[in-house]
């Protein structure tokens, strides 16, 4: 199977090709067509399986339609750490180079001024850690009711870090009609509960741990 078989646009296929990837990984094969069709998804996959591209690629095609509005991001990706959030934003830059999407990274340890300026102009993709997002929301700097696509990445790490109450609160501020994608390496009971509460008839995809030889692909 090739990336072209997954239903991605020509612009994206070109960016993927230039990244040097010739074949989609199992999580990409399982996730991309469902996400493009608008379905909710539970992806049980670890880092190293290509899971980031499995949500970034279809998101770029979904967001290529429609326009951003001030203070109302169109999509939200929640990451447990600043480092992961920064990596996801690099993926958007790499795969989105032929799509003009605007992005804001809301992470702790960075001055809020520039983040707020980006939000005021309107962004297609907001990539955030839960703490900083809640902080900006409580200051009235951000509206979440335009977020029709939500990604909760590394959910089991969010649990370990005590972020589940924040995530529940964030979910309750997003429109009910949204599309939600949840990724986790494991599915302990609190994550199953979160998925049951906030996802709607999700497709479930589980992939094996990457072989040691492929961990650094």
Residues that bind ligand AMP (CB under 6 A): 21, 23-25, 28, 47-53, 217
Q: Please report how close the Cβ of residue 44 comes to ligand AMP at its closest, in angstroms.
A: 13
Q: Which is nearer to ligand AMP, 4 or 217 (CB)?
A: 217
Pairing of strands 149-152, 75-78: parallel
Q: What is the CA radius of gyration of the chain?
A: 16
Q: Please report how close the Cβ of residue 58 comes to ligand AMP at its closest, in angstroms.
A: 13
Q: Please report how close the Cβ of residue 19 comes to ligand AMP at its closest, in angstroms.
A: 7
Q: Which is nearer to ligand AMP, 53 or 78 (CB)?
A: 53
Q: Which is nearer to ligand AMP, 174 or 183 (CB)?
A: 183
Q: Please report how close the Cβ of residue 18 comes to ligand AMP at its closest, in angstroms.
A: 12
Residue nearest to ligand AMP (CB): 52
Q: Which is nearer to ligand AMP, 52 or 129 (CB)?
A: 52
């Amino acid at each position: 199977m090739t990336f072209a078989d997954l239903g991605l646009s020509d612009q994206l296929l070109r960016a993927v090709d230039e990244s040097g990837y010739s074949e989609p990984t199992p999580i990409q094969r399982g996730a991309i067509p469902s996400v493009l069709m608008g379905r909710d998804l539970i992806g049980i996959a670890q880092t190293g399986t290509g899971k980031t591209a499995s949500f970034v690629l279809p998101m770029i095609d979904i967001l290529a339609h429609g326009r951003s509005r001030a203070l109302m991001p169109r999509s939200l990706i929640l990451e447990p750490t600043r480092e992961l959030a920064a990596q996801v934003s690099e993926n958007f830059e790499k795969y989105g180079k032929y799509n003009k999407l605007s992005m804001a990274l809301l992470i702790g340890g960075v001055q809020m001024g520039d983040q707020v300026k980006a939000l005021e102009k309107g962004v297609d993709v907001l990539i955030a850690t839960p703490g900083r997002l809640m902080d900006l929301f409580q200051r009235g700097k951000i509206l979440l009711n335009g977020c029709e696509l939500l990604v909760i990445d590394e959910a089991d790490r969010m649990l370990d870090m005590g972020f589940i109450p924040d995530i529940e609160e964030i979910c309750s501020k997003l429109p009910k009609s949204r599309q939600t994608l949840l990724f986790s390496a494991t599915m302990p009971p609190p994550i199953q509960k979160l998925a049951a509460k906030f996802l709607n008839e999700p497709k479930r995809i589980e992939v094996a741990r990457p072989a040691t030889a492929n961990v650094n692909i």
